[in-house]
Structure 1
Amino acid sequence: MAAAHPLAFPPPSGRPARLVVLVSGSGTNLQALIDAAADPAFGAEIVAVGADRDGIAALERAERAGIPTFVHRVKDHPDRTAWDAALTGSVRQRQPDLVVSAGFMKILGAGFIDAFAGRIVNTHPALLPAFPGAHGVTDALAHGVKVTGCTVHLVDAGVDTGPIIEQGVVRVTDADHADGGEALHERIKTVERQLLVEVVGRLAREGHRIEDRKVWIPA
């Protein structure tokens, strides 16, 4: 079977990459990106932050940093298709080079994924393809793994099935089974924030291409 034609996303010329960040909660990953983007050498600027709910700390973080925000609640739309179309329109208006799902707790619809295919970055608290879905940390613990970690990947139509960009490893200790994985999840989040900043910066500065499920970033 012939290999799929690679998708190429060169870095923007003469300007920082434009980022739209999607959030649902406290915004610690967003804050890491805000802090990184304060350095011009990072190569990217956050042009908007979008959320699926009001009154969350992540929106407050964006507002303190002077970043425009928008909110699309699912319940304000007649169905998920209409919500996805509204979200797609708001993000498209900002003309992003990359969309970063930073703790965004809604599954993106087909319309959104088609509009920004190959440019949506997400994180997951497990070493994909193992333990996808909403319970990656506890599923890994229940399986008895000795190492777990986090994955930064591109979003496709599946649940945590998109091409992997980078992964970080975290060891599991005996104590992690006693507290239900809370301490483990916090250690994973620390690695996740660092990895997300590193990956987004590299994508912004260097661009990337996707070929046979592999994501290549120029050295």
Structure 2
Amino acid sequence: MARTVPGIVVLVSGGGTNLQALIDAASKGQLGGSILAVISNKPGVGGLDRAARAGIETAVVNHRNYPERAAFDAALRETIDAYAPDLVVLAGFMRILTDSFVRHYRGRMLNIHPSLLPAYPGLHTHTRVLEAGDEEHGATVHFVTEELDGGPPVLQGRVPVLPTDTAETLAERVLGQEHRIYPQAVSWFCQGRLRLTASGAELDGTPLNEPMDIDSGAPS
């Protein structure tokens, strides 16, 4: 039977707080899509528990069971494709994916990164922001491409960097913005408003030469 709304598969590696934000949005009818499954590369993580409590199917593709990255990615792809999702959402999925895997889901895979991309791709963003003396920090939702954290950005949420901030306090406030912007970007995609073209991301048919800002006139 054909789905009436777009189907989503979420990939997690940890506690799954961004997953929870998506689950909560879906329960309120605000996501525009249905979470078909949550898949983790690690057994026993909190994200799997959150999915189970919400009645969402779960699966584990343990990366430790595969001798090389390509073999893991092939198994992960097979597991995802069994659900035939319209969108794959990376929600704290801590594995670098092969180029062939990324190309397979081109235009239908989103990630969230804890920095105002293109600044600070990679790890330890909060510490790097503090060391640089930046006055502002935040999070970015972007399409996934072969370049690590380099795909076209879609939506950002910002926080000021306070004189008293530590990496931990800054991370907590950025996470609050992640929980706001990820459901919004996913809902745009599910509504058919957000797409990836050859020239970059588009929202409502307009090229996103810069990412939208959740607090500066981003459409609902």
Q: What is the TM-score normalised by the length of structure 1?
A: 0.88
Q: Secondary structure at the match of 1:42?
A: coil
Q: Secondary structure at the match of 2:42?
A: coil
Structure 2: which amino acid aligns with 1:142?
Answer: E
Does the aligned pair in 1 maintain the 2:5–2:32 contact within 8 Å?
A: yes
Instruction: Find 1:128's aligned residue among 94, 117, 122.
Output: 117
**Percent identity over the alignment?**
42
Task: Indicate the residue corresponding to 1:209 in structure 2.
Answer: 195
Closer, same or farther: CA 103–41 of 1 in aligned 2, 3 Å: closer
How far, CA to CA, are the matches of 2:36 and 2:170 in structure 1?
A: 33
Task: Indicate the residue corresponding to 1:91 in structure 2.
Answer: 80
Task: Indicate the residue corresponding to 2:214 in structure 1.
Answer: none
Does the aligned pair in 1 maintain the 2:16–2:91 contact within 8 Å?
A: yes
Task: Indicate the residue corresponding to 1:173 in structure 2.
Answer: 162
Does the aligned pair in 1 maintain the 2:142–2:151 contact within 8 Å?
A: yes
Structure 2: which amino acid aligns with 1:198?
Answer: Q
Task: Indicate the residue corresponding to 1:43 in structure 2.
Answer: 32
Task: Indicate the residue corresponding to 1:64 in structure 2.
Answer: 53
Task: Indicate the residue corresponding to 1:194 in structure 2.
Answer: 180
How far, CA to CA, are the matches of 1:65 and 1:95 in structure 2?
A: 20
Does the aligned pair in 2 maintain the 1:163–1:213 contact within 8 Å?
A: no
Does the aligned pair in 2 maintain the 1:32–1:197 contact within 8 Å?
A: yes
Instruction: Find 1:54's aligned residue among 25, 29, 43.
Output: 43
How far, CA to CA, are the matches of 2:171 and 2:31 in structure 1?
A: 27
How far, CA to CA, are the matches of 2:192 and 2:48 in structure 1?
A: 29
Q: Secondary structure at the match of 1:175?
A: coil
Task: Indicate the residue corresponding to 1:147 in structure 2.
Answer: 136
Closer, same or farther: CA 14–56 of 1 in aligned 2, 3 Å: closer
- How many residue pairs match? The answer is 204
Matched, 1:183 2:172: no
Q: Secondary structure at the match of 2:88?
A: strand
How far, CA to CA, are the matches of 1:68 and 1:114 in structure 2?
A: 25
How far, CA to CA, are the matches of 2:53 and 2:163 in structure 1?
A: 40
Closer, same or farther: CA 168–41 of 1 in aligned 2, 3 Å: closer
Unaligned runs of 5+ in 1: 1-12
1:67-82 matches, within 5 Å, as 67-82=56-71
1:207 positional shift: 3.7
1:14 positional shift: 7.3
Relative contact order higher in (CA < 8 Å, ≥ 6 apart): 1
How far, CA to CA, are the matches of 1:132 and 1:97 in structure 2?
A: 26
Task: Indicate the residue corresponding to 1:107 in structure 2.
Answer: 96
